[in-house]
Amino acid sequence: MNYKNYEYLDAEEKKKFLKSLDIFEGLSDEEISLILPICRNIKFKEGEKIIEDKSLGDDLFIILEGEVAIELEAITPHFEITIARLSSGELLGEFAMIDSAPRSARAKCITPAECIVISGLKLREILDNDHKIGYIVMSNIAKILSDKIRKTNRRLLNFVRKKLF
């Protein structure tokens, strides 16, 4: 499904779109209807920070368009290392659904970007009130995080190989 022009889709098209995302895979139309009202569309400029490292926040971001760098501050202050580049259909801020710890990295737009922003507080209320939805979404988040960790491990291994050999 096309990620562009989400804000112009009617409710049925938005439901269909949300159901196509990994985080909501397995939810019914009725279950998606509970999540739809807590979604909003936000546009970001190139260079704009979506998430600041060590900040508090619970919003989830689904990239509709554009590219976002996930950065960590290196040992040298004011020197950031890009650990991942995310684009259309990918998720940011999913750790906030697991715990209320400060953000673990910075997310900065490499290009202008458009995201669906979902209130983590309101999503957690839905997940707490309907354990079936909660199980499905949290299971999907676990799969997403597992995949990200595997990709990060491969990138780290490739980096170490280049440095050693």
| pLDDT per residue as tens digits for the range 56-94 | 888 999 999 999 999 887 776 677 788 889 999 899 988
Domain that holds residue 60: 6-119+131-158
Is residue 71 a part of any domain in this protein? yes
What predicted TM-score, i.e. pTM, was given to this entire model?
0.85
Which pLDDT score is estimated for 114? Answer: 94
Q: What's the confidence (pLDDT) of residue 54?
A: 81
Q: At residue 39, does pLDDT exceed 90?
A: yes
Long-range contacts of 25-30 (CB under 8 A, 24+ apart): 25/136, 25/140, 26/136, 26/140, 27/133, 27/136, 27/137
Domain membership of residue 146 (yes or no) is yes
CA dihedral of residues 108, 32, 58, 121 (deg, nearest 10): 160
Residue pLDDT, tens place only, 117-158? 999 999 999 999 999 999 999 999 999 999 988 988 888 888
Q: Where residue 3 falls among pLDDT bands split at 50, 70, 90? A: low
pLDDT the model gives residue 123: 94
Which residue would you say has higher pLDDT here, 49 or 158?
Answer: 49
Residue 1 belongs to some domain of the structure: no
- Is residue 127 within 8 Å of 118, Cβ to Cβ? no
| CATH number of the domain to which 42 belongs | 2.60.120.10
Residue 153 belongs to some domain of the structure: yes
The confidence score (pLDDT) of residue 151 equals 86
In a domain, 136, yes or no: yes
Residue 164 included in any domain? no
Domain-embedded: residue 165: no
What pLDDT does residue 4 have? 64
Domain count along the chain? 1
- Higher pLDDT among residues 16 and 5, named by residue: 16
pLDDT for res 85: 92
The pLDDT, as a whole number, for residue 2 is: 53
Q: Which two tokens stand for residue 94?
A: 């999913």
- How does the average pLDDT of the chain come out, rounded? 88
Query: Does residue 43 sit within a domain?
Result: yes
**Which pLDDT value is given to residue 98?**
81
Check pLDDT > 90 for residue 96.
no
